[in-house]
Amino acid sequence: MTNIGVFDTGLGGLTVLSKLVESKKANYFYFGDTLRVPYGNRPKDEIFEFSCDIVDFLEKFDIDYYVIACNTISVTCLNLLEEKYKKTFIPITDGGLKAGRSIPGDLLVLATKATVDSHFYRDNIEKVGKKVYEVAGYNLVDLIENNQIESPKMDESLEEYLDLANKIQIPNILLGCTHFPLIKDEIGRKLTYEVNIIDPADYILDKIETNDNDLKIKIFLSQKSKIAESIIQSLIKFDYSLTYVDFV
């Protein structure tokens, strides 16, 4: 079977895993670092160090290739990980780029601080002649991981981060963080005009190559989390195993 490692800083990458398992059968090993999430406000060398801890853990499973189900790790560490592990890493940002370039109209990229600071999306999408606005949703990952999706703080934060979109009616919003599909409805409710909300995960499925007939899903998290189990159950419609590991 094809062993595919999928990883994120926490629960967000499960939104990517859910689409992968619907689309392609394989042996999936997911790791979410729920102990140390969020990474998005951390310095680049720390993000790389933590990402290596994750990959070191997954390497035990004889992984054929990886999907980096995290924009923050993709924009800060892709080259470093490829160099260190000499394996294929498919970054979720490939999907974001493909979508951003092909969908008509300007875009707002809502992402973490690290992703916005890299200007990866702006610099690569503006080349095809459209305007890219970037907004860092500083506290959104933290709120999601801490079970505050439906909370006054989430409400207030989204209002602030989507103010620009509402003011100038940007036609597309690219979810530049894999946690954000979990708050897609909350985002939609804050927008006062018709908007196209894009999930990059929909644009990387064709990169996954397998001819497997069976589907196996193993999920590893570095800390028990209040909402992990309900998020996994709502996203993953197949059998899976969930293990909490002490890995650092």
Residues 6 or more apart in contact with residue 14 via CB below 8 angstroms: 8, 30, 32, 69, 219, 231, 232, 235, 236
Rounded to an integer, what is the distance from CA 242 to the centroid of its chain?
19
Residue 139 touching ligand DGL (CB under 6 A): no
Report the C-alpha dihedral over residues 177, 182, 183, 185, rounded to 10 degrees. 130
Residue 40 touching ligand DGL (CB under 6 A): yes
* Minimum CB distance to ligand DGL smaller for 1 or for 227: 227
Structural element, H or E, at residue 74: helix 71-85
Does residue 129 come out as left (phi exceeding 0), alpha (psi in the -120 to 50 range) or beta?
Answer: left
Site string (215-244) toward ligand DGL, x via CB under 6 A: ------------------------------
* Minimum CB distance to ligand DGL smaller for 8 or for 186: 8
Q: Which residue is nearest to ligand DGL (CB)?
A: 40
* Minimum CB distance to ligand DGL smaller for 8 or for 63: 8
Q: Give the nearest distance from C-beta 140 to ligand DGL in angstroms.
A: 9
Q: Give the nearest distance from C-beta 235 to ligand DGL in angstroms.
A: 14
Residue 24 touching ligand DGL (CB under 6 A): no
Instruction: Tell me the C-alpha distance between 178 and 14, whole Å.
Output: 8
Contacting positions for ligand DGL (CB under 6 A): 8-10, 12, 37-40, 70-72, 112, 115, 141, 177-179
